[in-house]
Chain A
Amino acid sequence: MLASKERPPDCLSDLVLDEWRAGEIDDQARVAELEAHVAGCERCRARKEAFDEQARSYLEKKPAFVPPVRARLKHESRRSRRMQLFAVGASALAAAAALALVLRTPEKTPVGGEETGTRLKGGSHVAFFVKRGDRVVKGGPGERLQSGDQLRFTATLERPKHLAILSRDARGVTSVYYPAQPVTTPLPAGADVALENSVELDDVLGEERIYAVFCDAPIAVEELRTALERTGEIPVRQGCTVDRSAFVKEPKP
């Protein structure tokens, strides 16, 4: 009716291959049997190799599961209740930090030349925490946020650098999220250094793109913002790198 059975009766099913690949077959004799079969069966060997390759390729594109903020807030709330039961004191921020979901920047491009100097693992990047009501969680790439959420950025720098964080909302309007001053001052090297001030999200819905610009020299922030608004891109500048990411703004339920 729907499809004919294609697998020869002696060949391994996808279910068996998946269980084997996931390390769920405890019986070593059975594992040896599977290995022997795959070694002598072209179809199963090719299928297993294809699964391995598909998994590698998939995880390159989607390396981690990032639950939406709403779910994490709920989860965090449950965790906090459990913590109270066991009388364990911990701030929401510390609990959120335990989530260890760093805003990994999917697109990182050197602007106007190679970056020099020793890089920390992962290079310079920013992350952010989201405050909704009295709950705080760490944000992730492609995050679904709400109008009224407050964002607080952190920066990881392998050496002192200038940093500007700008955004471009769904209407193409640009804003400066960091710094508050017109020209940047260098930030010290360090991991997850909290930046001053937080940002409250407005009610423009849709995708908002975030640009974190790291430079060796001071950045004239307003100049950068108008260039972004005019061209939709950060202008090329020697000695700078740009981390791009995005989140989606949704209405409050």
Chain B
Amino acid sequence: MVSTENTLDALYRTHAPSVFRRARRLLGSDAEAQEVVQDVFLSLFERPEQYAGKSKLTTFLYSAGTHACLNRIRDAKNRLRLLRERAAGDPEAKSDVGLTPEKLSLLHRMLERMPEELARAAVYYYVDDLSHDEVARLLGCSRRQVGNLLKRVEEWGRAQELQHASQ
């Protein structure tokens, strides 16, 4: 449990850069990524009991950071702002993960409507490039369940593409 501000400050110095790096990769925006860092550490400051110390803090922060990013993608105002920022940038420019702004927009369109469990699995597997074992560890489920989730992600994506194409 994160019990004091001194502790939180030490944790911030150790972990904030990686929370920022992941958020920036997923959101494609420095400003939004910084907001995510603030959200995540503010949440730890206000409710330290949410991290019970049973898992590694990195694991907890991958989960908290992903949740905060998905919230931002799903927030209509933020989504529009992210779209505008990408529209103003170089369309061929690649983010840290190798996604062009166009692909990042596609990713956001999918994540904004995808059920939470699938969205998390998709982020860990496709964006963080983690193994099934690691995704299972982050989601707290079995490797087999991860396989099923990723299968559902693919099916969901195909259904959305078909729906999009028919419109």
Report which of B45, B103, B130 forms a contact with A71, defined as CB distance below 8 A.
Answer: B45
Q: Chain B's nearest CB lies how many Å from the CB of A69? A: 12
Q: Say what secondary structure dominates the interface of chain B.
A: helix
Q: Chain A's nearest CB lies how many Å from the CB of B110? A: 7
Q: Which of A207-235 contact B (CB under 8 A)?
A: none
Q: How large is the interface on B (under 10, 10 to 19, 20 to 34, 35 or more residues)?
A: 35 or more
- Selecting from B54-62, B71-79, B81-89, B141-149, the interface stretch reads B54-62
Q: Chain B's nearest CB lies how many Å from the CB of A97? A: 12
Q: Mark interface residues in B7-24 (1 if CB within 8 Å of A CB, else 0).
A: 011001111111011100
**A3 x B98 contact (CB < 8 A):** yes
Count of interface residues, chain A, beta-carbon cutoff 8 Å: 32
> How far, in angstroms, from A99 to B9 measured CA to CA in the complex?
11
**A64 x B9 contact (CB < 8 A):** yes
> How far, in angstroms, from A65 to B130 measured CA to CA in the complex?
28
Report which of A6, A22, A99 forms a contact with B14, defined as CB distance below 8 A.
Answer: A22
Report which of A2, A24, A67, A71 forms a contact with B122, defined as CB distance below 8 A.
Answer: A2
Report which of B21, B126, B131 forms a contact with A13, defined as CB distance below 8 A.
Answer: B131
A3-B103, A65-B12 known; A71 and B127 CB under 8 Å?
no
A13-B131, A65-B12, A71-B46 known; A24 and B97 CB under 8 Å?
no
Cβ of A43 < 8 Å from any Cβ of B?
no
Cβ of B64 < 8 Å from any Cβ of A?
no
> How far, in angstroms, from A51 to B21 measured CA to CA in the complex?
9
Q: In the complex, how many residue pairs between chain A and chain B have their CB atoms under 8 Å apart?
A: 105
Q: What residue in chain A is nearest B123 (Cβ atoms)?
A: A2
**A6 x B17 contact (CB < 8 A):** no
Contact residues in B for A114 (Cβ distance below 8 Å): none
Cβ of B102 < 8 Å from any Cβ of A?
no
**A3 x B17 contact (CB < 8 A):** no
Report which of A6, A18, A58, A75 forms a contact with B129, defined as CB distance below 8 A.
Answer: A6
Q: Which of A1-18 contact B (CB under 8 A)?
A: 1-3, 5-7, 13-16, 18
Report which of A55, A67, A99 forms a contact with B18, defined as CB distance below 8 A.
Answer: A55
**B129 x A54 contact (CB < 8 A):** no
**A3 x B13 contact (CB < 8 A):** no
